[in-house]
Amino acid sequence: MYKKLIIHFKVSLFIVLLFPGVLFSQQQECFLLMVGKDASVNGQVLLAHNNDLSGTEASMIIKVPADEKINILPDSSASFNQRYEILILQTNLGFAEGDAVAVNKHGVAIAGGLALKRDRNSNAGKVDPLVRSGLGGGVRYFALQHAKTARECVKIMGALYNKYGIKYPGGVGIADTNEIWYMEAGGGHSWAAVRIPNDCYFVAANSYRIGNIDFYDTANFIYSPNLINICEKYDLWDKSFRGFNFRDFFGNGVKEKSGDNDYNTRRLWRTFDILNKSMHLSPETEIFPLFVQPEKKIDLQKCFTILRDYYSGTPYDIFKNKNLKDPERSIAVWECVHTDVITLSPGKPTDYGCVLWTGLSSPYTAIYIPVYLGSNTIPSGFDFAPSDFDHNSAFWIFKKLGDLCKSEYPGKMKAWNVLRDQFESNEIKRQKMIIREAGNIKEDHPGQLNDYLENRSKEFAFKALKLTSDMITKYTK
């Protein structure tokens, strides 16, 4: 499967290089929520993400073995002694697309990216222009393949940005069970990363989020060497916090161009409104806290709910009659091509302690399938992504249901949505039993663990596809 992907990747890369506007003219407007282990119900780290493109880039799950190179660098001068196996959720554009959702054998995970080019202001473009021959989102896969910790992953990406430059600014979440980081590229040679406290959550949606950087706090900030030079050259060094504001310097471009930033900030507001209603944030809020302790600890199902949100119960509900002609951008959109939550369990072996809960196509109709890092094979239908409709492809099955119900959503789908939510809830409850059984097997019969984990994923995936196919049949009668 991986060999076939390399061939497809080369074709996709040729198209992107020949017609660079094809990829970046698409809506690359995604959403990211990261939850620290002390802010979650069961002590897991949670990374939730929606990847929004045009809606037709088919998505799949692949396993990249440790002996396979991910070649996304301009040359081979950057050498690393060790590579690690990776479980990846990606589109059929391959590593060129760079919207990386993946976890490696050491339990280091990445969730991104978030396209920031639209929010990059014109002044930043003059101060630090992008590098045409530099690196895009694909560097995240490369760094993950060589990192044992989240911090190391950040440093590898940063070192490569320093060496080759940045051609497309974006944000990405990086986590292990000890630390969560969020990293943003500001310009051709400017980048910064901030550590999210374990008792907080962080949310981002295509606008710059990293604010005040303390250049002396190396425990919580990592940044490009040129930022201090920029501060000195443009007299930006604010002694009150010993650094400067990354967001203010590089961001706010959407408002600069269009006069408002609701396209991004409303989704941030909605997340805080769900998780911290007592904050009473106004829907017109434009500057948000970088991270917040939730009122109630967050669980996996709450992440699913947020990823599927369309402002229900608010004046901005995109399916209200008054909003149908000109709906605001919600967290969930029909153009999403994959949606996911990565769960990292402290103290558990990564083969069953790291789970990629995968939804293909839009979150409105996708069902989240647990795929364990220790699985050697991927559930049937989830392991390939043809560019055109294929009734054997899970992506196209879920997308077909979405296409059928789009004009009548959520009304005609209410009963099915309840059934789907209960279906997922039951599988979440089964996780305690699965993890306990996996632990026993690893101790007593380690050679049987991979098969056990694969069978649990395949069993649930088969039922999910049947549930979806049955609903399609009802729609087409």
pLDDT in tens, 303-330: 999 999 999 999 999 999 999 999 999 9
C-alpha torsion sign, points 196, 200, 205, 210: negative
- Conformation bin of residue 55: beta by default, left when phi > 0, alpha when psi is -120 to 50: left
Range of the domain at 215: 2-476
Q: What is the CATH number of the domain that holds 180?
A: 3.60.60.10
Q: What is the pLDDT of residue 14?
A: 40
> In the predicted model, is pLDDT for residue 22 greater than 50?
no
Predicted confidence band of residue 236 (pLDDT cuts 50, 70, 90): confident
DSSP secondary structure code for residue 187 in this structure = S
Q: Residue 329 half-sphere exposure, CB side, CA atoms within 13 Å?
A: 18
Averaged confidence pLDDT in the chain: 91
Q: Supply the angle between the helices 300-307 and 262-275 in degrees, to the nearest 10.
A: 150
Q: Domains in the chain: how many in total?
A: 1
Q: Provide the 3-class DSSP secondary structure of residue 60.
A: strand
Q: What is the model's pLDDT at position 25?
A: 37
CA dist., res. 205 & res. 25, Å (int): 18
DSSP element (H, E) containing 149:
none
CA 459, chain centre distance (Å):
25
Model confidence, pTM: 0.93
